Amino acid sequence: MESILPFRFEDEKTLLNKTHPIVRLILPFIFVIPFLIVNNIYLIFTLVVITFIFSAITRLPILRIFSRLKNVIPFAILIVIFLPLYIGNTIVYRVELGFFVLNVYKEGLSRAILLFARIFGATYIFMSFFSSLTYSEFIEALTTFRFPAVLVGSLIIMLHYIPIIASSNKKIIESQELRGKRITNYWEKMKSHAYVIGKSLVSNMERSEKIYESLKMRGFTGKLTFARRKIKVIDILFFVCFVAFTLFLVFFVDLSQFYRGALLLFML
């Protein structure tokens, strides 16, 4: 069964397997933080394309990444869809609905496109780099950063239960459909899932309490230990190259002029 978590399976091979997990955990932040600060949609597009090319070269599961990414798009649209209707002064489109007039503003539309690109780009970059990590490598990277044991332990339990809850909810929805319930569109499906999650929340909390008590009886204190890997010179060089390349794109390259020039070349 395919996991809904963004991590790779233990037996999957990529060209990043020998890279230290902590480097693979930091790399997406290097790409994402600049375009969350800088209002430049060209930078977002460039980093997404570079991540895609990098994923193809390092043999990351691109199709699996996109199959998980499509679930984020409706939420991103829901977040930005009303911005063009309320933000700005320059009207680019007007819809008259009887006594009600709906205006679409240029400033709000630009902000909505930028926000959608940020959400889509950040999600895609994080999913791409996290797909190079196994579940154990992800936890190892967190412990290397010396995150509090309580936080790491809570995260482990949460990540363990996400697939279980998703699987049980899917089975409940399928059983409802077999009994004659009709789900005709995406939003009805979302409502059904929300209702099932609310109903099963209490039972899942009781289950997590029992697991926690059983772990305590076995001597679990929340402290996790891993055989520490040493950070090699190649890991440091890999990290420095990514930082230098990102800084070069942000401060030394006019990406808008680059894309305009490339577009003119294609049009000639």
Give the span between the Cα atoms of 172 and 192, in whole angstroms.
Answer: 10
Reply yes or no on whether the pLDDT at 159 is more than 80. no
Residue 52 has a pLDDT of 94
Q: In 3D, which of 246, 214, 268, 222 has the Cα closest to residue 30?
A: 246
Q: Look at 86-90, 170-174, 256-260 and tell me which has the smallest mean pLDDT.
A: 170-174
Residue scoring higher pLDDT (214 or 66): 66
Domain ranges of the chain: 1-146+232-263, 148-228
Identify the pLDDT of residue 50. 93
User: How distant, in Å, are the alpha carbons of 36, 176, 200, 207, 258 from that of 204?
Assistant: 35, 20, 6, 5, 53
Ranges 38-42, 111-115, 223-227: which has the least confidence: 223-227
Task: Please indicate whether residue 150 or residue 37 has the higher confidence score (pLDDT).
Answer: 37
Q: Which residues contact 219 (CB under 8 A, 6 or more apart)?
A: none
- For 171, phi then psi, to 5°, come to -65, -40
| Listed residue (187, 48, 174) closest to 117, CA to CA | 48
Percent of the chain with pLDDT over 70: 79
Q: DSSP per residue over 43-55, as a string?
A: HHHHHHHHHHHHH
Average confidence (pLDDT) over 117-139: 90
Rounded Cα gap, residues 8 and 131, in angstroms? 5
Please tell me the pTM assigned to this model: 0.77
pLDDT one-digit tens code per residue, 184-241: 666 666 666 666 666 666 666 677 677 777 877 877 666 666 566 788 888 999 999 9
Is 1's pLDDT higher than 60?
A: no
Alpha-carbon distance of 255 to 261, in angstroms, equals: 10
* Mean pLDDT across 28-50: 91
pLDDT of residue 126: 93
Q: Identify the band that residue 115 occupies on the pLDDT scale cut at 50, 70 and 90.
A: very high
Q: Which residue would you say has higher pLDDT here, 64 or 199?
A: 64
pLDDT more than 90, % of the chain: 24
Most confident of 83-87, 165-169, 220-224: 83-87
Average pLDDT value for residue range 106-125: 93
Residue 4 DSSP class: S
Alpha carbons 157 and 171: distance in angstroms, whole number: 22
Concatenating the DSSP letter of every residue in 6-24 gives SPBPTT---TTTTS-HHHH
* Residue 199 amino acid letter: K
Candidates 118, 114, 152; CA nearest to 25 is 152
pLDDT > 60? residue 2? no
Lowest mean pLDDT among 77-86, 142-151, 235-244, 252-261: 142-151
Q: Across the strands, what pairs with 102?
A: 95
User: Which amino acid makes up residue 218?
Assistant: R
- Phi, then psi, of 232 in degrees rounded to 5: -90, 170
